[in-house]
Amino acid sequence: MEAAGCRYQFRIALLGDAAVGKTSLLRRYVAGAPGTPAPEPGFDCAPTVGVEFYSRAMQLRAGLRVKLQLWDTAGHERFRCITRSFYRNMVGVLLVFDVTNRKSFEHIQDWHQEVIATQGPNKVIFLLVGHKSDLQSTRCISVQEAEELAASLGIAFLETSAKNNYNVDLVFNTLTDAIQQALQQGDIKLEEDWGGVRIIQIPKAPCRKQQSGSCQC
């Protein structure tokens, strides 16, 4: 249960081949935060070099306040040695493929296995994401095929499109809800030397003083 004046931080990574749209998906999600301007329709992103970081605060249905620390990883093989070093400190992973790119789909099991091989005592929550669902005329991975892969890995599957803003919030909400549930069930435990889940102290509001000088807290 959340302590007063605290909230959780969940560290989540997006993994997948280069050009599957991980950065576009992240930027669309972060732009959906209140007060943040939306990206231009059809926006494109330059390839990620190494790892980039994003964040968004949210409140779950149970009232839990959560800050998502989102790690955008490069999909090119030459950056894999960099991204692998972060796997152990992740509590959630979005495995992203492009529904128009069969190789990106076939490589999902490799990405999944890489994380499993570096996994510590805590459970990592995965979600399979079929991106660019707006490109129906050129897709080569069916929903059924993706669902079968997800079932074989024991994880859930969702399709999304950053261009159309389809299921973008749902993808991150689904993963975050699953992390919260695993945390409540004891499958995930807080550890000092693990960065997947952290408790963040929220500063208290300053006291209001009356004219007499007494503090009204």
CA neighbor of 8 nearest in space, from 205, 126, 183 = 183
pLDDT reported for residue 20: 94
- Domain assignment present for residue 1? The answer is no
Q: Is the pLDDT of residue 76 over 80?
A: no
- Domain assignment present for residue 52? The answer is yes
- Domain assignment present for residue 165? The answer is yes
Percentage of the chain with pLDDT > 90?
A: 50
- Domain assignment present for residue 158? The answer is yes
- Domain assignment present for residue 151? The answer is yes
pLDDT tier, 189 (very low <50, low <70, confident <90, very high otherwise): confident
Q: Residue 72's beta-bridge partner residues? A: 14, 52
Q: Whole domain around residue 161: which residue ranges?
A: 6-216
In degrees and rounded to multiples of 5, residue 214 shows phi and psi of -75, 145
**DSSP state for residue 125 in the 8-state scheme:** E
- Domain assignment present for residue 76? The answer is yes
CATH number at residue 175: 3.40.50.300
In degrees and rounded to multiples of 5, residue 103 shows phi and psi of -60, -40
By three-state DSSP, how is residue 140 classified?
A: coil
- Domain assignment present for residue 13? The answer is yes
pTM: 0.81
**DSSP state for residue 3 in the 8-state scheme:** P
- State the Cα–Cα distance between residues 111 and 95, nearest whole angstrom: 7
Total domains, the chain: 1
- State the Cα–Cα distance between residues 75 and 121, nearest whole angstrom: 26
How would DSSP label each residue in 141-152? Answer: S-HHHHHHHHHH
Q: What is the mean pLDDT of residues 22-30?
A: 92
Q: What is the mean pLDDT of residues 23-47?
A: 64
33 or 5: which leads in pLDDT? 33
